[in-house]
Amino acid sequence: MLNHTTIDRSLRALAEPTRRAIIEKLSVGPASVSDLAKPFATSLAAVVQHLQILEDSGLVTSEKVGRVRTCRIEAGGFDALGDWLAQRRSLVERQLDRLDTVLAELRPAGRSAHRKGK
């Protein structure tokens, strides 16, 4: 399993509405810090702090040219989280399959009816 700390940082970063809104905006396209701050009622400094956390989590990168910092989503920043999620879901599937098996053994003549088709 890949580094657990990456998952932790990603999830913490995303578990905040403002940061999620920033991610949502950035997933449409790059933006400057003050562009990102505009929609929010909070101060610019607060947004900068959120951006710092997003960068530490590996979800966002930024580079400064002149006096403006341009932020963008880091492609692949969601991969660790995606893998973790996929693994959870596959394990849950496995559980349901085993349940099916058990039910099938309990009434061998019938067809288990509670699972959605493949």
Partner DNA sequence: CGTATGGTTAAGCATGGACTTGAGTATTGA
Partner DNA sequence: TCAATACTCAAGTCCATGCTTAACCATACG
Strand 60-65 versus strand 31-32 pairing type:
unpaired
Task: Report angle CA 87, 91, 117 to the nearest 5 degrees.
Answer: 110
Instruction: Say which entry of a second copy, DNA, none residue 49 contacts (CB below 5 to 8 A, set by partner kind).
Output: DNA
Residue with smaller CB distance to a second copy, 11 or 68: 11
Residue 45: CB atoms within 10 A of its CB come to 9
Return residues touching DNA (CB under 7 A): 12, 16, 18, 32-35, 37, 41-46, 48-51, 53, 64-69
For residue 107, the minimal CB distance to a second copy (Å) is 21
Residue with smaller CB distance to DNA, 20 or 103: 20
DSSP string, 78-105: THHHHHHHHHHHHHHHHHHHHHHHHHHH
Instruction: Say which entry of DNA, a second copy, none residue 68 contacts (CB below 5 to 8 A, set by partner kind).
Output: DNA
